[in-house]
């Protein structure tokens, strides 16, 4: 798959609530980073297995219903794109709206994600999920 095809597939899998499939897009040694993550939340995950574990219970916390906007910026490196997107959903435990804007810098090589930097608002996520403790539990802190 090309870089853009991987991005399209990733968005389709998120909406289908197929977190195992989404994690399966990562290279075995691919990474995901959360530069804005609060204390208690992972800053970086290394490897497909770690990404799959992180996403394992995602749908228990967030019910994504739509991607309400998406802009893909191609870079001078054909393996790297910047994706701005907004999702609409519901925080499962609280029933609160989950509306989040993301900016993701995604690197794809040989049809797999090798790097994913995910910029989002931990404040907005914590408010939707019920608080900082719920946010860190979502990220595996409660496991």
pTM of the model: 0.90
How many domains, the chain?
Answer: 1
pLDDT surpassing 90 at residue 143:
no
| Pairing status of strand 112-119 against strand 26-33 | parallel
Beta carbons within 8 Å of 69's beta carbon, 6+ residues apart: 84, 85, 86
Residue 50 exposure: Cα atoms within 13 Å on the Cβ side: 13
- What pLDDT, in 10s, does the model give residues 6-22? 999 999 999 999 999 99
We report the CATH number of the domain holding residue 52 as: 3.10.450.50
- What pLDDT, in 10s, does the model give residues 24-55? 999 999 999 999 988 888 899 999 999 999 99
- What pLDDT, in 10s, does the model give residues 113-141? 999 999 998 888 878 888 767 676 666 54
Q: What backbone phi and psi angles, to 5 degrees, belong to 69?
A: -155, 150
In DSSP terms, 116 is beta-bridged to 32, 106
Range of 53's domain? 3-141
Rounded to a whole number of angstroms, the distance between the first and last alpha carbons of the chain is 34
């Amino acid at each position: 798959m090309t870089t853009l095809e991987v991005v399209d597939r990733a968005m389709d899998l998120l909406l289908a609530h197929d977190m195992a499939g989404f994690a399966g897009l990562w290279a075995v040694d691919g990474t995901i980073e959360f530069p804005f993550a609060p204390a208690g939340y992972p800053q970086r995950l290394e490897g497909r297995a770690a990404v799959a574990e992180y996403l394992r219970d995602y749908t228990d916390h967030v019910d994504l219903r739509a991607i309400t906007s998406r802009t893909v910026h191609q870079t001078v490196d054909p393996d790297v794109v910047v994706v701005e997107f907004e999702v609409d959903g519901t925080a499962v435990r609280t029933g609160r709206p989950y509306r989040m804007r993301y900016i993701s810098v995604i690197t794809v090589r040989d049809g797999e994600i090798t790097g994913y930097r995910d910029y989002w608002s931990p404040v907005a996520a914590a408010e939707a999920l019920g608080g900082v403790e719920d946010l860190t539990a979502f990220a595996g802190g409660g496991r």
